Amino acid sequence: MSNNHRKQHLISPYEVAVSQLKKAAKIMNLEKDYFEILKKPARVLTVNFPVNMDDGSIKVFTGYRVHHNDARGPSKGGIRYSPYVSLEEVMALSMWMTWKTAVVGLPFGGAKGGVCCDPSKMSEKELCRLTRRFTYAILNMIGPERDIPAPDVNTNPDTMAKIMDTYSMIKGYSIPEVVTGKPIQLGGSRGRLEATGRGVYFSVLEALKYKKMSLKNCTVAIQGFGNVGSNFARIMYENGAKIVAISDMWGGIRNDSGIDIPKLIEYVKNNKKVVDFPNSSPISNKDILELNVDILAPCAIENQITEDNAHNISAKIIAEGANGPTTPEADKILFSEGVFLIPDILCNAGGVTVSYLEWVQGLERFSWSETEVNRKLERVMVQAFNEVLSKYHSLNKICDMRTAAHILAIQKVVEATKLRGIFP
Ligand code: GLU
């Protein structure tokens, strides 16, 4: 691990999340009691569970499922598999889910889960056994009316299929609504796979409108080429933007006259990485963030834009496809330098929005066309963006878009908590 990489994992995402909450609470004069309620997750489960490995050994894995808040509805959020998963990280991600569902107005609370493992070093069969045993271990936390998992870093529709099957087997009947982001054949929604990337695209369109910039020939750098980064890249490319650099965890590529995204997607299918793509020169994951482009989209992991590199950012717009890519110290720098940032809880909310549509379609046993899903997604994203933007203006730009989004979300959660009252 490089020093830079190690440092990124030393910044606690939970401390970042609490510091964002504090900043918003101060500006909105949030009562101390409600701050205390929102600061800590409502429910935390840590599980240690054994999995049979292909070589005959047994390995014990640690996983988490955290419900941050369910004042506005069932808890909702993805499950990630990564060697860097920690309780602190999952706690932060669950809090961000509470704000994300509130900011786009979905009737959900916030949750997140994760298993500390390295999927790149595990076989498909091992991952399948891990998913099933983890599902069993968190069984009492999840359910279609309680907490609905979805894909996140290193998990996908197939992972959701295995969770759905394990849950259904134990309950004794099929319950597809226990997860979203399932394969379409199992009741998944059309448009869900690319929904996060498409949502980032819709937010970028609104930001460009606000900044009086046009998408045509707009230059873009994207960090991360997983589900979010690759779909965002493809949709931007199809609509005339010029993607000049892309990176993944193994390195990056650059071409100032524009990368052919459909070809890159084909290339990555075979080679698993973007590096060495024909007609491109290499660029590091660090340098990609500092390129002189119109739009920078961090679509990978937390703590990428920090006080160390924020001063070097040249992009006019930052679109946070990832959760938590920017630290509070970096936020201050970007704000003072006039970079327009679309915060994660707004920018990447397209995924959970179509998850909501999938959940509704499942509960009602019907399905919408892809066009219908995309239309609904666009409406939600455009409305949420403009609500955050007017909050930002109404605060006379004394804070950034992130804090405006947090204030909006916190108001909604507090309002729901007050209406419900404190039990008993
Ligand atoms: N993992 C995604 C996120 O961070 C999607 C969550 C969901 O659909 O529940 O927003």
pLDDT tens-place string over residues 277-331: 999 999 999 999 999 999 999 999 999 999 999 999 999 999 999 999 999 999 9
Centre of ligand 1 to C-alpha 162, Å, is: 17
| Residue where the block lists tokens 């004394």 | 398
Centre of ligand 1 to C-alpha 148, Å, is: 10
Centre of ligand 1 to C-alpha 320, Å, is: 14
Give residue 8's pLDDT: 59
Give residue 3's pLDDT: 45
Centre of ligand 1 to C-alpha 152, Å, is: 6
Atom of ligand 1 nearest to the CA of 108: 9
Q: Is the pLDDT of residue 187 over 90?
A: yes
**All domains in the chain, ordered by first residue:** 39-186 (3.40.50.10860), 195-347 (3.40.50.720)
Q: Which residues line ligand 1 (CB under 6 A)?
A: 76-78, 100, 150, 152, 180-181, 323, 348, 351-352, 355
- CA 388 from chain centre, in angstroms, equals 18
Sequence-distant contacts of 170-176: CB under 8 A, at least 24 apart: 170/136, 170/139, 175/143, 175/144, 176/362
Average pLDDT over residues 104-125: 98
Give residue 9's pLDDT: 61
Atom of ligand 1 nearest to the CA of 352: 8
The preferred substitution site among 196, 200, 345 for testing ligand 1, maximizing ligand atoms within 8 Å of CB, is 196
Flag whether the pTM goes above 0.85.
yes
Centre of ligand 1 to C-alpha 101, Å, is: 9
Report the nearest-CA residue for atom 8 of ligand 1.
Answer: 352
The preferred substitution site among 80, 231, 352 for testing ligand 1, maximizing ligand atoms within 8 Å of CB, is 352
Q: Give the CA dihedral 352, 62, 8, 292, nearest 10 degrees.
A: -30
Report the nearest-CA residue for atom 9 of ligand 1.
Answer: 77
* pLDDT band per the 50, 70, 90 thresholds, residue 189: very high
Q: Is the pLDDT of residue 376 over 70?
A: yes
Selection from 96, 339, 403 nearest residue 207 by Cα: 339
Q: Tokens for 423, please give them.
A: 């039990």
Q: Tell me the pLDDT tens digit for each residue of 9-33.
A: 678 999 999 999 999 999 999 999 9
181 torsion bin: left (phi>0), alpha (psi -120 to 50), beta (else): left
Selection from 266, 100, 234 nearest residue 243 by Cα: 234
Sequence-distant contacts of 286-293: CB under 8 A, at least 24 apart: 286/4, 287/252, 288/221, 288/222, 288/223, 288/245, 288/246, 288/247, 288/252, 288/254, 289/221, 289/223, 289/313, 290/314, 291/221, 291/244, 291/245, 291/254, 291/315, 293/219, 293/220, 293/221, 293/244, 293/245
Average pLDDT, the chain: 97
Residues noted as catalytic = 112
Whether the ω angle into residue 424 lies within 30 degrees of 0, i.e. cis, is: yes
Q: Around 184, how many Cα atoms within 13 Å sit in the side-chain half-sphere?
A: 10
What is the layout of strands, in order, in the sheet containing 281-283?
A: 281-283, 251-254, 242-248, 219-223, 295-298, 317-319, 340-342
Atom of ligand 1 nearest to the CA of 100: 10
